[in-house]
Amino acid sequence: MSTSYRQPGVVLTDRRFTVPLDHADPGGESIELYAREVVAAEKAGEELPWLLYLQGGPGFGANRFVGRQAWLDRALREYRVLLLDQRGTGSSTPANRQTLPLRGGPAEQADYLARFRADSIVRDCEHIRAEVTGGAPWTVLGQSFGGFCTVSYLSLAPEGLATALITGGLPSLDAHAEDVYRAAYPRIERKVAAHYARYPQDVERARRIADHLLTRDVVLPNGYRFTVEAFQSLGLMLGTSDGSHRLHHLLADAFVRTPAGPELSDAFQEQAQALLSYAAHPLYAVVHESIYGQDTRPTAWAAERVRAEFPQFDAAKALAGDAPVLFTGETVHPWMFENDPALRPLRETAELLAARTDWTPLYDRDRLARNEVPVAAAVYHDDMYVDAGHSLQTARAIRGLRPWVTNEYEHDGLRTGAPRVLDRLLAVVRDEV
C-alpha cells in the first residue's frame, strides 16, 4: 500500500514496484524497486505530466530532498516527479556485502550484478511506467550516470519518452573503459593543478600526509587501511563545485602533536573515513567499470592499468623529488577491495566482473541517429568526471539533441545551479533560446 505524507510545500507518496530480475525472463525471479512520488502541495489534486529522475552513480539511491530543494522546486512547477532508487540502491532490494551471499558464492553474485547496468535500469523504468503514468510517455532527467541511462533509454525504448534532459552525463557510445580513463587522468591532473594554484600551502600539506602514510601503517577507526593511494583518491572531491575548498579545510588540520610525535588527528581520520568508505554505496565500486563494458573485452581494472601510463601520479616518486603529490579522481582500483571493510567480502565478485567478456551493447547508434525524442544536454566544459570531448561526439550522434556547453558549473551543476540549470535545459529543448 502506498503511503502519502507532507513536507514543506510538497506531498510525497512512497511507491514500491515488483520487476523481473532479468527482463528476458519475466516469469522468473523478481526484485523490488522503491521510488518517491513528489508533487507540489498546491497541485496535489491536478493531472500533471510526469518527470522521472535518474540519479548519478552507479550505485546511489535518488536524492532525499526535504521540501522543494535544489532543482526539484523548478520541476514541481509543472511536473509530478518520481525519484527512483535504481535497482540495488537506496530502499530498493539491496545489493551489498550483507545481502549478496544470499545469491551464493562470488560467481553467482557476479552473474546477479551483471544485471544491474543501464539496460536493466531502463527496462525497469518501462516496466513501471504503465502503472505510474497510465501508459503516457514521461520526461526523464538524468544526472551523470543517470544521463548514461537516459541515452540507453533513447536506444532501447524511446517510445517511453516525451522529452529527455541530461546533465553531465553524455557517455561515449563506443569507448572502452581504457579510453575513458586515458582521457580522465589529464583532466584530473588539471583539477589538481588548479587546486594547488588556489591553495599553494596545500602542496606541502599533501606531501607531509603522503610521506606519513608511506612510512606507517595507518588503520582508520572503522578498519579502513589508510594507504597513500587511498589518500590520493580524496581528489574525487575536486570534481564538485565546493570540493577544492572542502579538501583544503580537510588538509589544514591533519596533524596533532602527541608524546610519540606528530600523528594524524582523530578529527582528520574521522572525516577521511567518511569520505573513503563505500559502506553506504558499495555498488558504486563493484559495478563501476562495468558501465563501460559493451563488447568481448574485459574491463580488467582499466583505471588501475591506465594509471601506470601516468607516472606523475606515483606519490613515492613525487616525494623522492620536489613534485607535488597528485590526487586522483573518479576511479576504482583493486586495492579498494583490500582497504575497505565494506568491500573486502566482495573482492572476488569484483574480480569476476572485471574479467567478464560477455557484455551486451548499451547504446544503439542507428536508433540514436534516427531519434525523434526532444533531447537537451548540459555539457560541463571542465567536468572532471565525464569527458566533454566524448560528450560532444555523442551529442552529434543523437539526432536532434541540443547541447548546452558551459564552464559556469562543475559536475554537480544540477544541484548547485538549480533552478537555473533545469530551467535552461527546458528552454533549450522547447526552442525558447
**Alpha-carbon span 149 to 132, nearest angstrom:** 19
**C-alpha cell at position 46:** 491536478
Q: Output DSSP code: residue 327.
A: P
With a CB cutoff of 8 Å and minimum separation 6, the contacts of 210 are 228, 231, 232, 315, 318, 319, 325
Residue of 212, 340, 411, 412 marked active site: 411
Give the burial class of 31: count Cβ atoms within 10 A of its Cβ; 0-12 exposed, 13-18 middle, 19 or more buried.
Answer: buried
Residue of 120, 144, 244, 277 marked active site: 144
Q: Is residue 119 annotated as a catalytic residue, yes or no?
A: no
Decide: helix, strand or coil at residue 55.
coil
Residue of 25, 217, 322, 358 marked active site: 358
Q: Is residue 144 annotated as a catalytic residue, yes or no?
A: yes
What are the CA-CA distances from residue 328 to residues 267, 355, 375 (Å)?
23, 24, 32
Count the Cβ atoms, other than its own, within 10 Å of residue 212: 18
**How many H-runs (helices) and E-runs (strands) does the chain carry?**
18, 11
Where is 352: in which H helix or E strand?
helix 347-355
**Alpha-carbon span 67 to 249, nearest angstrom:** 30
**Amino acid identity, position 36:** R
For residue 377, list its beta bridge partners. 166, 403
With a CB cutoff of 8 Å and minimum separation 6, the contacts of 78 are 48, 49
Give the burial class of 411: count Cβ atoms within 10 A of its Cβ; 0-12 exposed, 13-18 middle, 19 or more buried.
Answer: buried
Phi, psi of 290 (to 5 degrees): -65, -15
Q: Is residue 195 annotated as a catalytic residue, yes or no?
A: no
Give the burial class of 321: count Cβ atoms within 10 A of its Cβ; 0-12 exposed, 13-18 middle, 19 or more buried.
Answer: exposed
3-state DSSP percent of the chain in helix, strand and coil, to 5: 45, 15, 40
Catalytic residues: 144, 358, 411
